Structure 1
């Protein structure tokens, strides 16, 4: 099966998830093409399945990802596809945070016209070592509120890799 993975990332966790998906699918003997939405990604028309992912920052998704979806919405709506949304809200202990992430995804899909019924909410990472002083303080405050890690001397990853693998392979097996 020919599979396309398009991603938009700010801090790199969405790219890491997309690369993980690529490895899992290649191990399952699928032909996989992966591309950053900001780097002239291929059109989805020559692929059997398309995964598109983006991280949520400031309640919005990556603009290049949004533009890609809008440019190819008819093709995306005509074949098996899934959207993977990456955010820290998924790792939160506050149920309203997860509901907000789901609402952002739903509104995004409505705005772009993409009618995929498959949306994966995936937890991201806190990249404290990459943040400037101001962003580090803000992210620490948010993490503390949500019950996350507040040690700013190291990064903290929340992505559930086992669940991601099971979800991806389950989706492919269902359409195969």
Structure 2
């Protein structure tokens, strides 16, 4: 099947996740097009399935992703689609933090009128080496409250690659079942 992956990123972890998904889907013999939402991505019309992902910053998703969905929502709602939400809050031990992230994603989808078939929450990374000084201090303060790392001279990756692999594999299997006309 022909699959489009569109992503919005700030520091690059969502890009890394999208590339990982692309590789997995290609191994499953899908034709995959990967596109950064801020660089004139293709419309979803000619694709069988679409995965769209964005990181969350200050409780909001990437503006280019919001724009892409808004401009293509009618087509997206006729296709098999999935949304991957990348955040640090999803690794919190506090259930209310995880619930908050889930609610942000659900509200985003409702507000955009997009009926994504799949919603995945994926842990991101703390990319201290890519932050400006103010963001380093802010992110260190947040990490400290969560008993996380506080060395602003290092990066910390929290993405569970096995979980991502399993989610993508399930999505691929769902596509194969649908292409065979089964339910």
Q: Which residue of 1 aligns with 2:117?
A: 117
CA RMSD of aligned residues (A): 0.9
1:130 Cα deviation (Å)? 1.3
Tell me how far apart the structure 2 counterparts of residues 19 and 87 of structure 1 sit (CA, whole Å): 17
Equivalences for 1:16-27 in 2 at 5 Å? 16-27=16-27
TM-score in terms of structure 2 length: 0.93
Q: 1:44·1:72 contact (CA, 8 Å) conserved in 2?
A: yes
TM-score in terms of structure 1 length: 0.97
Q: Which residue of 2 aligns with 1:39?
A: 39
1:172 Cα deviation (Å)? 1.4
Tell me how far apart the structure 2 counterparts of residues 173 and 144 of structure 1 sit (CA, whole Å): 40
Unpaired stretches in structure 2, ≥5 consecutive residues: 177-183
Equivalences for 1:84-103 in 2 at 5 Å? 84-103=84-103
Q: Which residue of 1 aligns with 2:152?
A: 152
1:147 Cα deviation (Å)? 2.7
SS of alignment partner, residue 40 of structure 1: coil
Unpaired stretches in structure 1, ≥5 consecutive residues: none
Q: Which residue of 1 aligns with 2:55?
A: 55
Tell me how far apart the structure 1 counterparts of residues 133 and 105 of structure 2 sit (CA, whole Å): 30
Q: Which residue of 1 aligns with 2:126?
A: 126
Tell me how far apart the structure 2 counterparts of residues 147 and 170 of structure 1 sit (CA, whole Å): 33
Q: How many residues align?
A: 176
Q: Which residue of 1 aligns with 2:139?
A: 139
Q: Which residue of 2 aligns with 1:81?
A: 81
